[in-house]
Amino acid sequence: MDTVDKIIKYEQGLMEIDETVEFFGELVKTGICWQLQGHYGRTAVRLIDGDFIDRHGNILNETLHNPACPNDSNRQAGPPF
């Protein structure tokens, strides 16, 4: 699945939490998250601050099932991040 397909799946709220964390890890690794709309950068920062991923986009596996999921209060509906 390419990046555009993953963005569509994410925007439709069809990703599980672990898949979403992996997706944002990829976006951070490639730098794409900093070029997309603000929600992506803010969510990446929350995932980094919450120890879901590191600043290089590597997944911190022990935190994947942490119930303290980051939340972007500017979004009305959609994905859990």
| 14-51 pLDDT, tens digit each | 999 999 999 999 999 999 999 999 999 999 999 999 99
Share of the chain above pLDDT 90, in %: 73
Closest residue by Cα to residue 36 from 58, 12, 11: 11
Give the C-alpha separation, 8 to 55, whole Å.
24
- pLDDT score of 64 more than 90: no
Radius of gyration of the chain (CA): 11
Residues 27, 40 contacting (CB under 8 angstroms):
yes
Banded pLDDT at 75 (limits 50, 70, 90):
very low
Residue 39 CA to residue 74 CA, distance in Å, equals: 8
Whether residue 79 has pLDDT greater than 50: no
Q: Answer yes or no: are the C-beta atoms of 43 and 10 closer than 8 Å.
A: no
What is the arithmetic mean of pLDDT over 66-77?
A: 48
